[in-house]
Chains A and B, each alone.
Chain A
Amino acid sequence: MKKFKGRAWKFGDDISTDHIAPGRLFHLRTNLPELAKHVLEDADPDFAKKMSVGDIVVGGRNFGLGSSREHAPQIIKIAGVSAILAKSFARIFYRNSINLGLPVLICDTDKIDDGDELEIDMNAGEINDLTKEIKITFQPLPPAMLTILSDGGIINHFKKNKGFKLT
């Protein structure tokens, strides 16, 4: 997971879990691959069709606010998104994403435009906007979150350590 590249898909502020996994598709929650075909549909109806595996979702402030539904980060991951960048994340969405091993990185996303080619260097804590030829640093993950992410998510962490090993 050290370094990876992908196209940026830009979204605005306050993208809620209702935008990502709408309540009207509630019946698909027990069929995540099917629900993933609708990922972010209420923010961009064609997103699932347009994106490719490895692409990067770029939001503004308070990404993932609202419902605790873990299906939201689950289907972002299942669709093949490699990371989410935002100026800030809502609390439950942030923890859910890390739990699933999906990198959620806080940085100044104003400089990134839709369609930019990005390279994320997890170790250096940097995003390289290859289109603009600029580097953007992201906030280091809190130590507990970094541990969970490096273990490949909370389930792997818990199994590996036979409990939590975060303190």
Chain B
Amino acid sequence: MGKTIAEKILSAKSGQDAKAGDIVIVDVDVIALQDGTGPLAIDQFAVLGATEVAKPKQTYLFIEHAAPSPRRELSNAHLLMRAFARKTGVNLSDVNGGVIHQRLVESAVKPGDVVVGADSHTCMSGGLGAFATGMGSTDVAIAMAAGKTWMRVPETFKIEITGRFPAGVYPKDLMLSIIGKIGADGATYKALEFTGDTIENMPLTDRLTLSNMAVESGAKAGIIAADKITAEYLREQGRPDDYIPLTADNDAGYEKIIKIDVGKLEPVIAAPHTVDNTKSIAEAAGIEINQVYIGSCTNGRLADLKVAAGVLKGKKIASSVRLIITPASRSVYLAALNAGIIGDLVEAGAMITGPGCGACVGVHGGILGDGEACLATTNRNFQGRMGNPKGFIYLGSPATAAATALNGKITDPREYIDK
């Protein structure tokens, strides 16, 4: 029997014929930490008795969860990370660089890599044809010291996506509907492999929205074959030589095959407090919203800001709503600025913050008040996620977010999209 992409990568990196269920020791190509999990990993690295990082050039620290720092405890955590980077020679992306996963796909990950990050959305790099997974600080500390980690090779669910997206419906709606269908634990421990003609024609930025949210179904990885679109993306990033094609074998074994025709999709909302609590836009429309947040590793890229600007240009947001937009990285910010998108958004009433995780993780940058509701383009709506357990978070696409900002209540974006 042939191999899934996960089995192919884990075979290559373990030097053995790996199939689902096997335990393997693999060489790690990219190791990543952020300012929420990095300080603990640095502590555990010391507890381990390690002093040298095995692969400093392939190890990346990101200061972006609380950047710039809103409190002195966090400023001190940042100092610890900077000192560690200086001492060990690992890469450091400081305040203003942007979100870990966005930065990794922009400049570090290549198809076929094994990527481990102390952040659950590390799975986003799977959109480039890598095996990328989130782990805890201690596992990543060991990977830093040894350049290796252990894994159980996951079984794979094949998600076969066909058809064309109707106007006003986006990969975010698709991914929310997939999670609604399989449930927040429906793919626990599995790898998702997204295939089909919709994926073959999908720009890389949109593929990343899918792979990013694989973990919201419990999955260990969300993988997409590396093809000419991947090659084109790497060329744009100035890394053409990092491309290798990578697909699953035709006779690979899948635990499950899920087929979806996007031609029939409508905009989808995830309602509080779980991502699989999905509603059709018709069910959610009209719910009053106090804050709209566009950003994060899921939907804070140039294409997302462009879609939002398309809805908002020449209009004004409702006076009852705050619209906060946080570009996922500095290069996204700069590209949006140069394309005139930032101006359109600001004129419509948006507040633009510096790049990073911003309001997504509830540390700063837009914490909700008691009883307030937010429509966010992020990936999680758990109770307390945006800093207040008495807040309510709805998830949707950038278009839905922009349309909602115009009305101060959840709005079907198709009213504002040219067909």
Contact = CB atoms under 8 A, between A and B. Distances in A.
Interface string B53-92: 0000000000001100001011011001000000000000
A37 to B, nearest CB: 15
Given A30-B73, A42-B389, A92-B134, A144 B218 contact: no
A66 B386 CA distance: 13
Interface string B370-413: 00000000001011111111000000000000000000000000
A16 B383 contact: yes
B130 to A, nearest CB: 17
Contacts, number: 150
A70 B136 contact: yes
Contacts of A28: 73
A19 B47 contact: no
A82 interface: no
B367 interface: yes
B127 to A, nearest CB: 18
A136 B180 CA distance: 32
Interface residues of B toward A: which range?
Answer: 35 or more
Contact of A27 (B23, B44, B73): B73
B120 A27 contact: no
B220 interface: yes
Nearest to B66: A26
Given A24-B367, A154-B139, A68 B150 contact: no
B248 interface: no
A24 B136 contact: no
A68 B367 contact: no
A35 to B, nearest CB: 11
A5 interface: no
B363 interface: yes
A24 B388 contact: yes
Interface string B263-284: 0000000000110000000000
B147 to A, nearest CB: 11
B109 interface: no
Interface string A21-37: 01110111111000000
A70 B362 contact: no
Interface in B311-353: none
B274 A14 contact: yes
B274 to A, nearest CB: 5
A124 to B, nearest CB: 25
The 5 closest A-B pairs by CB, nearest first: A23-B362, A70-B136, A96-B136, A27-B73, A62-B185
Interface of B: 23-25, 36-37, 39-40, 44, 47-49, 65-66, 71, 73-74, 76-77, 80, 117-120, 122, 134-139, 142, 146, 148, 150, 152, 184-185, 188-189, 218, 220, 273-274, 361-363, 367, 380, 382-389
28 contacts: A18-B362, A19-B383, A23-B386, A24-B362, A24-B384, A26-B361, A29-B39, A30-B80, A42-B383, A62-B188, A65-B184, A65-B185, A66-B382, A67-B120, A68-B120, A74-B40, A88-B185, A90-B185, A90-B188, A90-B218, A91-B218, A96-B136, A99-B136, A100-B138, A144-B23, A154-B142, A158-B142, A166-B150
